[in-house]
Amino acid sequence: MKFLTTNGRGILLCLIIAIPAWILGTLFPIIGGPVIAILLGMLLAIPLKEKGSMAPGIQFTSKKILQWAVILLGFGLDLTVVLKTGQQSLPIILCTITVSLLIAFLLYKVLPIPAKSATLIGVGSSICGGSAIAATAPVINADDEEVAQSISVIFFFNVLAAIIFPILGNFLGFSTTSGEGFGIFAGTAVNDTSSVTAAASTWDSMWGLGSATLDKAVTVKLTRTLAIIPIVLVLAFLQAKRGQKESGQKVKLRTIFPFFILYFILASLITTIAVSLGVDASVFSPIKTLSKFFIVLAMAAIGLNTDIVKLVKTGGAPLALGACCWIGITVTSLLMQHVLGLW
């Protein structure tokens, strides 16, 4: 009861934003519910400057529910299927992730952009967009404005990719009788699942391939999702070292260790074992849907805590960083496919 008294009003406000955002996201998948929720939250935050008794619930939603969303995301991963596909796409995935993180690090040194924003954009670009940002933000203690800005940058280049990549794939001469080449390209070079789905589905419809491209692209994308685990653990270690250096005191690992990542792994193992024992993977679909809704809910809270005017004024450098990461990943994916003889 105390929990509801403290947090109920803030959570309810986030739900009021998240539900229409979720519905609009299903109608306009290329934009997606999370981005719509952030935008609605930021617009509502303009007149709602003093949140009063709603503040604790909004804070709870933007932090804890975001972590729960990442945990539930694990139920969408059948590691057997992911690792089988990963044998083919893993070299490309590793190279694109490395290139994106290097670009983010180098440009952070020369652009007027905060370290946490650079980290979120680099990780979001290289791994899986909003899901990676959701997993990384609590570990590096990013504030809601940094998360909102990073999500906005990733969204912009997701939309560009969904529109441009099918045209680019045709120009570059990807196979039009098999969805494998373009599926790997979409799965490794597009950030968020919604835009991976949009690009791959467009290619399938252009050449009458059924769902061949989509199936390949989504599986490759799920393989990329596993990179969340080592990235978050490394960032947690670096955060501990930084805290120890600044405070002069030894930081205990258990105080900064991202335990929600262990639950994410456990959820993936449960799905993998259950499917191997004959359980239909569709059993986990409601949990995956709940995970996506939790992300929308958390993004509504993040939008409420974001100053949209400040975000627009400071958006130039993050947008430039996102562009460089996006171009770097695209070029690297194409080069690696060419080297491996996949295109």
| pLDDT tens digits, one per residue of 89-139 | 889 999 999 999 999 999 999 988 989 999 999 999 988 788 889 889 888
> For residue 62, what pLDDT is reported?
86
Taking the model in full, what pTM does it have? 0.81
Residue extents of the structural domains in the chain: 78-295+308-339
| pLDDT tens digits, one per residue of 46-74 | 888 777 789 899 989 988 898 898 888 88
| pLDDT tens digits, one per residue of 191-230 | 877 788 888 988 998 898 988 898 888 888 878 888 888 8
> For residue 105, what pLDDT is reported?
94
What's the per-residue H, E or C state across the chain? Answer: CHHHHHHHHHHHHHHHHHHHHHHHHHHCCCCCHHHHHHHHHHHHHCCCCCCHHHHHHHHHHHHHHHHHHHHHHHHHCCHHHHHHHHHHHHHHHHHHHHHHHHHHHHHHHHCCCCHHHHHHHHHHHHCCCHHHHHHHCCCCCCCHHHHHHHHHHHHHHHHHHHHHHHHHHHHHCCCCCCCHHHHHHHHHHCCCHHHHHHHHHHHHHHHCCCCHHHHHHHHHHHHHHCCHHHHHHHHHHHHHHHHHHHHCCCCCHHHHCCHHHHHHHHHHHHHHHHHHCCCCHHHHHHHHHHHHHHHHHHHHHHHHCCCHHHHHHCCHHHHHHHHHHHHHHHHHHHHHHHHCCCC
> For residue 282, what pLDDT is reported?
86
